[in-house]
Amino acid sequence: MDWDDLRVFLAVARTESLSAAGKRLKIDPATVGRRIARLEEATHARLFTKSPQGYALTEEGARLIPHAEQAERATLGAEESLTGPGGLTGLIRLGAPDGCANYLLPQVLSRICDENPGLEVQIVALPRVFNLSKREADMAIAVSRPEAGRLTVQKLTDYRLHLAASRNYLAGARAITAPEDLQGHRIIGYIPDMIFDKELDYLAEIGIGPATLTSNSVSVQLNWLRTGAGVGVVHDFALPAAPDLARILTDRISLTRSFWLIRHESDARLDRLNRFADQLTRGARAEMVRLEALIADETRA
């Protein structure tokens, strides 16, 4: 059985599409189809069924998955052993919620890449949970610890959130000195039916709202606040990127959350990903300390 055919098989299984698999592997869809046909002939089994939704694994295809993944891990392990313990190289794709992706990861990953010139990193910023089994990413950051699945999980870093608004908005609006003063102020937050994790339901926990300006994107919410549109919950680590915003009611309303780094269980044996995860964790924690110190210094000033 040819490893290259197994590699194509895994790409189709994970993307459920010949064209998407071709894009991932940088080969044309017709070649993908031929490789799958060749593998089916070699195994004497039909591995996929085609439907309007895409290519779905048959029972025989599902049985082949763990063996193909074992071959994948062996190949990656062999590559690592030959390259040795030097700098990180190759491509790593990291999935993350957009607040983390926009305001924490860029500077952390830039430093990691500076130290590892052969490394290429992709950030996939989506407000949802990533499917690591389908290899949407090599690893993902989540806002809550998953309780199921073949995963390895480690805490990346804690972070804090507070209510904030633009200084111009606060200068022209009714004073906010207590939570009850928020009545009559326009609230900015998440679209309720698009809150993909209970940890993001900030307004319900605080007991304010409902929000009248809503988005599934942290960046959109932050930009609404910067335009003076109202009051909303903001990550403290995002505030250095928005110096026109000011925290309010910090002694009365404060939230603490955690980012979790999640990997597929089978990847725990890959030294390259282990080393990247260690560098990412150290870098994220150091950067969080730096960013939150900037906010603390500004508050004291």
The CATH number for 90-301, chosen from 3.90.1150.10, 3.40.190.290, 3.30.60.50, 3.30.70.360, is 3.40.190.290
Whether pLDDT at 285 is above 90: yes
Return the structure tokens found at 23. Answer: 């894009």
pLDDT tens figures, 154-165: 999 999 999 999
Average pLDDT over residues 275-293: 95
pLDDT at residue number 77: 65
Whether pLDDT at 111 is above 80: yes
Round the average pLDDT of the chain to a whole number and report it.
89
The residue among 88, 81, 94 whose CA lies nearest residue 115 is 88
Q: Token match 């299984």: residue?
A: 13
The pTM of the full predicted model, rounded to 2 decimals, is 0.74
Q: What architecture does CATH give domain 3-83?
A: Orthogonal Bundle (1.10)
Q: Domain boundaries in the chain?
A: 3-83, 90-301
pLDDT tens figures, 214-267: 999 999 999 999 999 999 999 999 999 999 999 999 999 999 999 999 998 877
SS3 174: coil
Of 2 and 50, the one with more pLDDT: 50
Where on the phi/psi map is residue 86: left (φ > 0), alpha (ψ -120 to 50), or beta? beta
* Most confident region among 54-58, 70-74, 134-138, 253-257 by mean pLDDT: 253-257
Whether pLDDT at 300 is above 70: no
pLDDT tens figures, 96-105: 999 999 999 9
pLDDT at residue number 100: 96
Q: Are 14 and 130 in contact (CB under 8 A)?
A: no
pLDDT at residue number 147: 83
Dmax (CA) of the chain: 74
pLDDT at residue number 84: 52
pLDDT at residue number 86: 64
pLDDT at residue number 170: 96
Return the structure tokens found at 270. Answer: 């890959």
Q: How far apart are CA 181 and CA 47, in angstroms?
A: 62
Q: Are 6 and 30 in contact (CB under 8 A)?
A: no
Return the structure tokens found at 92. Answer: 């790593």
Whether pLDDT at 301 is above 60: no
Whether pLDDT at 13 is above 80: yes
The residue among 94, 93, 179 whose CA lies nearest residue 142 is 94
pLDDT at residue number 200: 94
pLDDT at residue number 45: 93
pLDDT at residue number 78: 65
Q: How far apart are CA 76 and CA 74, in angstroms?
A: 6
β-bridge partners, 189:
214
Whether pLDDT at 295 is above 90: no
Chain-centroid distance of CA 93 in Å reads 10
pLDDT at residue number 74: 75
Whether pLDDT at 20 is above 80: yes
pLDDT tier at 85, thresholds 50, 70, 90? low
